[in-house]
Amino acid sequence: MGNYHQFRVKYDMKYKIYYDKYYYAMILFDMVIKNYERGTTHLSVSLLNEIKGNFKGSKNFWKNILTSLISKLNYLYSKIKRHNSVLILDSNKFKLLNEAIKTNTKKNKKSIKVVAPKKIMDIRGIIIPKTVIYNKDLKNLLESISIENLPEILENEYLMNSFNLNIKKSVFQVNQILKVNNIESIYTISDQKFENRLICEAAKLSQIPFFVFLHGYPQGGEYIGVLPFHGSKLLVWNREQKERLSKIMDINKLEIFGYPKFDKLYLKKFQNVSTIKNKITFISQPFEETGINFKRELVYSKLSKYKDDNYIINIRLHPKEKDDLVKINQIINMGFKVSTDSLLYDIYSSSKIIGYNSSVLYEAFLISNDKVYQIDDDTPINFKYSFIKKLYLEDLEEIKNNDNHNTITQSKYLIEDFKTEVKHLLISDN
């Protein structure tokens, strides 16, 4: 936890004065500044561009008319159907979890709502108009802002007060939308990015519980994207995460919930997949883009030596890498395979899985811990009762001699059936 404390002390010394003075304005700048201070300036630029990109809006006249109409119908529907509702942000994530919530909301006579539903005519959806969060005045304020002039902006009292008043107004408007729609609890995968954080602040005004599912395995020691926590409860995957995070945040805000992507029934669909004895899967990440000092060329060079023994070297790219032609061509030129299969298929069909400190490696460990190897790093994925096998680069060529008899064992950490947990959570909201 030393890295986090060091980072926070240094960060607060420099920026606490702005958080105290411009609470709402710093909701907008929070993640941008943190990544800048961490040294991942490219992520700061990306986040700022993402915020600015939301002001483009829709140029489709009839779609805008329909959105406005559905927003009004939504209001009338909520008045007629007075039962309470739960709101899911990021509804395209964790589909199985969403299905579990939907099943239990019906049983508890609650409705489920999502922000900006894909089916525009679905009046069960809650529409928080983008113009409420990304309004014209905010757009004008952001036009002249860049990473380079951000320090000057923070010192501009008039501009920061303008940001503060604008975002505060949006928070209160979103709060009214939540109340009109009888929202009693909110579920999401993050409370850090601007839009979700704004909704989180709006929920606080009416004491609406805001639950956050830990969406990835925290990288590095600064816990960027996870801490400080702003919601009601952070739902973690296992005891190890709860114990680790309880050292730096309120333990009462931590609940063990199980891994939110897969449930036991879904896992069973792949248990009959045969293990390919000569298949090794390397789980890639955008190491270079996130400032991680990772020796990709050295790893690939060592893995290439397996080809002489007729091994299939399967490289599973991160979603952010799947369109990276440089990386794809590098893999192809090495004679490796770019995986196009599902994650679960790769986990079950591989005889060895190698990776770095990531949620995908953790996922593989949960499902089949006997064949997962973590390449040596300063921040290994540790568990209180078991450890992912540590793999030093110089030993990478030797893992083929480590015979695990191709057994598949269900990790005891996959003990929380999240469907049960969802049921308990929704009952506790009553």
Structural domain spans, the chain: 2-58+127-258+419-428, 268-401
Give Cα 210 to chain centroid, integer Å.
15
DSSP 115: B
- Contacts of 5 by beta carbon, 8 Å cutoff, 6+ apart: 248
End-to-end CA distance of the chain: 36
Q: How many residues does the chain have?
A: 430
Residue 362 has pLDDT above 90, yes or no: no
Rounded alpha-carbon distances, angstroms, from residue 43 to 3, 39, 207, 334, 420: 20, 9, 32, 30, 37
How far apart CA 280 and CA 3 sit, in angstroms, is 33
pLDDT tens for 408-418 read: 334 444 434 44
For 390, half-sphere exposure in the C-beta direction (CA atoms, 13 angstrom radius) is 11
What pLDDT is attached to residue 189? 86
Query: Above pLDDT 90, what percent of the chain?
Result: 33
Q: How many CB atoms lie within 10 A of CB 416?
A: 19
Average pLDDT over residues 332-359: 90
What pLDDT is attached to residue 98? 66
Lowest mean pLDDT among 204-208, 260-264, 410-414, 422-426: 410-414
Stated as kind and residue range, the H or E segment containing 17 is: helix 2-21
Opening angle at CA 295, ends 310 and 335, nearest 5: 25
Residue 241 pLDDT grade (very low, low, confident, very high; cuts 50, 70, 90): confident
How far apart CA 75 and CA 128 sit, in angstroms, is 11
pLDDT tens for 371-405 read: 888 876 544 444 333 345 554 445 545 555 554 43
Token pair recorded at residue 365: 């460990």
How far apart CA 135 and CA 50 sit, in angstroms, is 15
What pLDDT is attached to residue 375? 77
Tell me which range, 13-22, 106-115, 139-148, 382-391, is most confidently predicted by mean pLDDT. Answer: 13-22
Give the three-state DSSP class for 185.
strand
Residue 206 has pLDDT above 80, yes or no: yes
- Contacts of 187 by beta carbon, 8 Å cutoff, 6+ apart: 86, 87, 88, 89, 101, 211, 213
What pLDDT is attached to residue 389? 57
The full 3-state SS of 30-41, as one line of letters, equals: HHHHHHHHHCCH
Q: Which residues pair with 316 in a beta bridge?
A: 283
Give the three-state DSSP class for 294.
coil
Amino acid at 196: N
What pLDDT is attached to residue 359? 76
Rounded alpha-carbon distances, angstroms, from residue 79 to 75, 180, 181, 193, 429: 6, 8, 8, 31, 21
pLDDT tens for 51-99 read: 988 876 545 555 555 555 555 555 555 555 555 777 878 766 666 666 6
How far apart CA 425 and CA 430 sit, in angstroms, is 9
What pLDDT is attached to residue 237? 79
| Contact present, 2 and 221 (Cβ < 8 Å) | yes
What pLDDT is attached to residue 379? 47
More confident residue, 209 or 422: 209
Q: How many CB atoms lie within 10 A of CB 397?
A: 12
Give the three-state DSSP class for 236.
strand
Give Cα 407 to chain centroid, integer Å.
31
Lowest mean pLDDT among 35-39, 77-81, 133-137, 270-274: 77-81
- Residue tagged 């140029």 (tokens): 59
Residue 169 pLDDT grade (very low, low, confident, very high; cuts 50, 70, 90): very high
Q: What is the DSSP string of 360-395?
A: HHHHHHHH-GGGEEEE--SS--B-SS-BPEEE-GGG
Token pair recorded at residue 47: 């986040």
CATH for 268-401 is 3.40.50.2000
Tell me which range, 158-167, 242-251, 308-317, 417-426, is most confidently predicted by mean pLDDT. Answer: 158-167
pLDDT tens for 182-205 read: 888 898 888 998 999 999 999 999
How far apart CA 9 and CA 135 sit, in angstroms, is 34
Residue 22 pLDDT grade (very low, low, confident, very high; cuts 50, 70, 90): very high
